[in-house]
Amino acid sequence: MSVIYRVNMSELTVSVEHPDAACELLGGRGLTSRIVASEVTATCHPLSAENKLVFAPGLLTGTGAPCAGRLSAGAKSPLTGTIKEANSGGTAAQALAALGIHALIVEGKPADGKLYRLIVSRSGVEIEEAAALGGLGNYETVARQLERFGDKVSCVSIGPAGEMGCAAASIAVTDVEHRPTRHCGRGGLGAVMGSKGVKVIVIDPAGGQRLEPADRPAFTQAVRKFAAALSRHPLSSETLPTYGTNALANVINQAGAYPTCNFSTGQFAGTEAISGERQHDIIVQRDGVLAHACHRGCTIKCSRIYLDEQGEYLTKGPEYETVWAHGANCGIDDLDAIARMDRMDDDLGLDTIETGATIAVAMEAGIIPFGDAAGALGLLEEVAARTALGRLVASGAEVLAKAYGVTRVPTVKGQSMPAYDPRAIKGIGVTYATTTQGADHTAGYAIAQNVLGVGGKVDPLSPHGQAELSRNLQIATAAIDTSGMCLFVAFAVLDDPQALEGLCDLIAARTGQTFTAQDLSELGKRVLRSERDFNARAGFTAADDRLPDFFRMEKLPPHEAVFDVSDEELDSVFNF
């Protein structure tokens, strides 16, 4: 039977419990949100002892299902004030699952203000003082754990941003090469981990084993069906392995929805220089790695390894969102500079989307000019030096904007928008406005139907049908996040009935219970209801489900479009 470990950092104790029947059939986001919603006082300060940080592998993680290696982290967000789930690839989720760990709950905070290491193994969870790790970046922190514990462990860590309690702080997870390149990035959960005094969690899966589904023959058959569907879809089998997520740069730029210079226009003249195609060519020329799996069992392999001009490892990817945030959004068209920023973000423990958006707001404020790559790197150096300006940069776009009197701030519920302008892709605008998580493209990825034609087609420039589109995608996404599957499986699930059937069959064989497409939808709805209930208790209302006014007032070139989905439509999204 699986276990839940509860780590009390106020008392420095660990207790063990078993999940109840309802929790046993949840994982990932569904489980983290259920625990946070039921155990955390919605009005508490996110960095107080009352908040809880919950880690959970997905329901299918550790079973051998393809692309099911996601780790969810959940808490009340210091960035948004809402409930939050951020998930990551890497090796930690599978390591936890192999040890039979259903969830790891970190609560309280140490009265002495010290830093600690959690060691998770077959024997349980140990708490050790780790003062020597204070102030270290994620790369050095992980290197020291590997030196002591060997290269079979997985690490979950924070950098200096998390230690400082900065609202853009991420939680790093090691990849298959033991590098801290996979991040539970959004919402500042690294600051919550830092507030608990936890610098690193070392997970040793030795002695663990693959989870055994309730019906092994049915599970094996479902794996084959699902894997075949992934291999048939052109996005999951060709585009993403070849060009990575940054394949979208030219596509979104052509659509006139590539936010440039702090969302001032929808096309960037330097897009080709930072595109997925250009990134592919640089990686090949420098003998980097294409089609890289961020966790074992990933068949999509959208990650990659980026080398510098001397052929030395620099960073992963970088991903589409990271390239955009530090590139077009800042007016920067230098991939090497963007890769260096990505490396610094990972080491400092910063969400790349929030950080890039904050740098763009700093540029609008006149701190540095748009297009200044050296200046952008200098702002990250300010974070490393823990200066007042650095703390503002690491606290997110909305905080820095208030400090410098900037009024054009692309945030919802305090969280910066990702790489799609909602005036030119209105379905994603509905998602940004209404998601429980603050502006987040992954919560309901309307780009699929608005731009890519996956799962149907909805005109991106029309307000009609966008609320229904976002609603259905948010429901489906909450369910996929609960399963532990990578969100990119959704392309096949939306287009291929065999993929949807295969996913449901996997969950049915895993749990030993009948599970249909309707059950998948109901699962997503339950997760969203739980999250909405928490947010309501935290004080959020329909008035918070809105985009900043400038998206309705300022026309976006080249389409000269505004966001014109009505408030009534926005308020209808969760009518289910």
In a domain, 313, yes or no: yes
- Residue 444: partners with Cβ closer than 8 Å, 6 or more residues away: 427, 428, 430, 431, 435, 469, 470, 471, 473, 474, 477
156 and 72 together in one domain: yes
171: which 2 tokens?
Answer: 């939680």
Question: Residues 446, 470: contact at Cβ < 8 Å?
Answer: yes
pLDDT at 81: 98
* 173 falls within a domain: yes
327 & 465 share domain:
no
Closest CA to 229 of 491, 569, 506: 491
CATH code for the domain in which residue 121 is found: 3.60.9.10
**pLDDT for 336:** 98
Task: Looking at the structure, tell me whether residues 442 and 454 fall in a common domain.
Answer: yes
For residue 102, which amino acid is it? H
**pLDDT at site 23:** 84
User: What phi, psi does 298 have (nearest 5°)?
Assistant: -80, 125
Domain at 474, CATH number: 1.10.599.10
Is the same domain home to 459 and 546? yes
pLDDT of 435 reads 98
Which pLDDT score, from 0 to 100, does residue 21 have? 83
Residues 105, 38 within the same domain: yes
Residue 562 lies in a domain: yes
The four Cα atoms 316, 155, 300, 73 give a dihedral, to 10 degrees, of -110
In a domain, residue 394? The reply is yes
Q: Is residue 361 part of a domain?
A: yes
Q: What is residue 211's DSSP assignment?
A: P
Closest CA to 354 of 428, 415, 445: 415
Co-location of 143 and 218 in the same domain: no
What is the mean pLDDT, run by run of 10 residues, along the chain of 576 residues? 94 96 91 98 98 98 96 98 98 98 98 95 98 98 98 98 98 97 98 98 96 95 97 95 96 98 98 98 97 92 96 97 98 98 98 98 98 98 98 98 98 98 98 97 97 97 98 98 96 96 98 96 98 98 98 98 98 96
Same domain, 125 and 166: yes
> 116 lies in which domain range?
3-203
Question: How many other C-beta atoms lie within 10 A of the C-beta of residue 285?
Answer: 11
Q: Are 454 and 536 members of one domain? A: yes
Domain boundary among 374, 399, 419: 419
Instruction: Indicate whether 255 belongs to any domain.
Output: yes
- Indicate whether 268 and 358 sit together in one domain: yes
116 pairs with which residues across the strands? 129, 198
Measured from the Cβ of residue 282, the count of other Cβ atoms closer than 10 Å reads: 15
Grouping H, G, I as helix, E, B as strand and the rest as coil, residue 102 is strand
Q: Of 368, 385, 419, at which residue does a domain stop?
A: 419
Query: Global pTM?
Result: 0.98
Tell me: do 575 and 459 sit in the same domain: yes
Residue that terminates a domain, selected from 419, 450, 476: 419
Same domain, 461 and 563: yes
The residue to which tokens 């080249």 are assigned: 558
CATH of the domain at 280: 1.10.569.10
Q: Pairing between strand 101-107 and 3-8?
A: parallel
In a domain, 179, yes or no: yes
Residue 94: predicted pLDDT: 97
Rounded to the nearest 10 degrees, what angle do helices 28-39 and 466-483 cross at?
90
Domain membership of residue 208 (yes or no) is no
Domain co-membership, 396 together with 367: yes
Q: 502 and 229 in contact (C-beta within 8 Å)?
A: yes
Amino acid identity at 487: L
- Picking from 64, 53, 68, the residue whose alpha carbon sits closest to that of residue 483 is 68
Give the chain's domain count: 3
